[in-house]
Amino acid sequence: MMHAMMHASVGDDVFGEDPSINQLEEMAARLFNMEAALFCPTGTMSNQIAIRCHTHPGDEVICSNNAHVYIYEGGGIAANSGSQVRAIPGNYGRITGQQVLAAINPDDVHKARTRLVCLENTANRGGGSCYDLEEIRKIRQICNENSLQMHLDGARLFNALVAKKETASQYGEIFDSISVCLSKGLGCPIGSVLLGSKRFMTKARRVRKVFGGSMRQAGFMAAAGIYALQNNIERLSQDHLHAKLISEALMKKDFVKDIMPVETNIVIATMKEKYPAKQIAEILYQKGVHVIAIAPHELRFVTHLDISESMVEKAIQIIEAL
Ligand SMILES: Cc1ncc(COP(=O)(O)O)c(C=O)c1O
C-alpha cells in the first residue's frame, strides 16, 4: 500500500484532475454497479453529505437508536441538515421493515416529513452484526411505497459482504446512496467513498465542497484505496476468525456477563456489575492489548489487518491470565 501511495499519479481533485481519485471513484462505482462515486476524507463526512443531499430542514430521518449517524457524528444530522431523527430500538443495531413502516409520519402539518431511512451494515454498536438482505429488500419496498430515500452507512460493508457471501452490487441495486470506509478493516490511512446516481453525486460534490472536504492532490490517499479494494477484501475473513477466538477466550472469564453474537471483526463484551469496563481496558492496555470501554460495562475489541495471528494468540493468553 505504501508503495502504491508513493508512486501515485496526482492532480487537483477540486478540478476533477486527480487521476488516482478518478480511478478509485470509477472502480468503486463499477464494483457496486452504481453510476457514480465520490472520494471523501472520512466516513462521517460521506454519511453527512448523503443525509444533507437527501433531506431538507425539518425532515425526519429513521435509523436505529444505536446508529453511528445518530450517536457518534456530533449531532451532525441536526447541525448539517436541520433534520431530526426517529431513533428505533434495533436488534443488535438492525431495524426491520415493520419498524420502519410504523415510524413513518402521516401527511400532517404537526409532524416532521419522513424523508430518509439510514441503515448501518455491519452495525458497529450491534457488535459488528450483519443485516439479512431480505429484510433490507423489505425496507426498500416500504421506502418505495412511501417515497422515502435509503442511505447505507456501510463503513464496514465489506466485512458483511465477506461474512454473508454477498456482493457489492446486490447493495448497489437497493440503496440510493452508500458510504463505505477504506480506512477501517481495509487498512487505508484515511478515506471513504460515497456511491449513488450521477445526479445525486453532482449535488454531493457541491456539499463536499461546502463541508470543506474537497481536497487537492489527495490521489496519494486514493492510491491506498485502490490497493485496498484490490488486495484487502478477501482477507477480512481472517479478522472475523480472530474476533471469534477472542470472544471464546472472553466467554470463559468470570468477570464477563455477556458477549454480543460475533459475526465479523467486532467483539462487544458486557462486564459483570462490579467490573467497570474502563478498569479492565486499562489493565489490558498495560499488558499491550488496546480495547475501548464504550459504556460503563461494555468493552469493544476490534480485529483488523494490523493484528496478526500471533498477536491474537498473545492477546488470548493475556485474557486467559486475567
Ligand atoms: C458504522 C460507522 N460509520 C461511520 C463511521 C465514521 O467513520 P470516520 O471515522 O471515517 O469518520 C464509523 C467510525 O467508526 C463507523 O463505525
Rounded-to-integer distance, Cα 89 and Cα 263, Å: 20
Cell numbers found for residue 39:
472520494
Query: What are the residues whose beta carbons fall under 8 Å from the beta carbon of 238, sequence distance 6 or more?
Result: 309
Which band of pLDDT confidence, cut at 50, 70 and 90, is reported for residue 87? very high
Is the C-beta atom of 182 inside 6 A of ligand 1? no
Distances (CA, A) of 120 to 42, 47, 71, 180, 279: 16, 11, 12, 10, 30
Is the C-beta atom of 149 inside 6 A of ligand 1? no
Handedness of CA 162, 121, 313, 225 (dihedral sign): positive
- Cα of 126 from ligand 1 centre, angstroms: 14
Stretch 111-140: mean pLDDT: 98
| pLDDT at residue 322, rounded to an integer | 92
Choose one of 48, 178, 184 to mutate for the ligand 1 pocket test, by most ligand atoms within 8 angstroms of C-beta: 184
- Cα of 181 from ligand 1 centre, angstroms: 7
Is the C-beta atom of 49 inside 6 A of ligand 1? no
- For 163-195, write each residue's pLDDT tens digit: 999 999 999 999 999 999 999 999 999 999 999
Is the C-beta atom of 152 inside 6 A of ligand 1? no
Query: What are the residues whose beta carbons fall under 8 Å from the beta carbon of 179, sequence distance 6 or more?
Result: 40, 43, 46, 47, 50, 151, 152, 153, 154, 155, 192, 193, 194, 195
- For 254-305, write each residue's pLDDT tens digit: 999 999 999 999 999 999 999 999 999 999 999 999 999 999 999 999 999 9
- Cα of 68 from ligand 1 centre, angstroms: 7
Going across the sheet that includes 298-302, the strands are 256-259, 266-271, 298-302, 292-295
- Cα of 40 from ligand 1 centre, angstroms: 12
Nearest residue to 73 (alpha-carbon basis) of 175, 155, 148: 155
What one-character-per-residue DSSP string does 84-136 give? EEEEE--BTTB--HHHHHHHPPPS-TTSPEEEEEEEESSBGGGTSB---HHHH
Which band of pLDDT confidence, cut at 50, 70 and 90, is reported for residue 3? very high
| pLDDT at residue 172, rounded to an integer | 98
Q: Which residue's CA is minimally distant from atom 4 of ligand 1?
A: 43
Beta-bridge partners for 86: 62
- For 302-311, write each residue's pLDDT tens digit: 999 999 999 9
Q: Average pLDDT of the chain?
A: 98
Is the C-beta atom of 124 inside 6 A of ligand 1? yes
Is the C-beta atom of 42 inside 6 A of ligand 1? yes
Residue with cell 468477570: 255
